[in-house]
Amino acid sequence: MRNPSWTRDELLLAFNLYCKIPFTKIHYSRPQIIELARIINRTPSSVALKLVNFARHDPKLKARNVSGMSHGSKGEKEVWNEFYGNWEELALQSEQVLARYKGLAIEESAGLSESELPKEGKMRERLIKVRVNQNFFRAAVLASYNNCCCITGIQIPELLIAGHIIPWSKDEKNRMNPANGLCLNLLHDKAFDRGLITITPAFKMKISKTLQRHKKNPAVQSFFLPCDNQPIRLPNRFLPDTAFLEYHNNEIFQKV
The ranges assigned to domains in the chain are: 8-142, 147-252
Contact 201, 237 (CB under 8 A): no
Higher-confidence residue of 110 and 245: namely: 245
Helices (H), 114-179: 122-144
Query: What CA–CA distance (Å, rounded) separates 179 from 237?
Result: 9
- pLDDT tens digits, 68-99: 555 567 888 889 888 888 888 888 999 999 99
The pTM for the full model equals 0.89
Cα 219 from chain centroid?
30
Query: What CA–CA distance (Å, rounded) separates 183 from 188?
Result: 10
pLDDT of residue 54: 86
Higher-confidence residue of 66 and 99: namely: 99
Cβ neighbours of residue 61 under 8 Å, at least 6 residues apart?
23, 55, 67, 236, 237
pLDDT confidence bin for 1, thresholds 50/70/90? very low
CA angle 205, 192, 112 (to 5 degrees): 125
Question: 3-state DSSP helix/strand/coil percent for the chain, to nearest 5?
Answer: 55, 5, 40
Distances (CA, A) of 202 to 24, 173, 241, 244, 246: 24, 24, 11, 12, 10
- The beta strand positions in 95-228, using DSSP E, are 160-164, 181-185, 197-199, 205-207
pLDDT confidence bin for 119, thresholds 50/70/90? confident
- What average pLDDT does the chain have? 89
- DSSP for residue 173: G
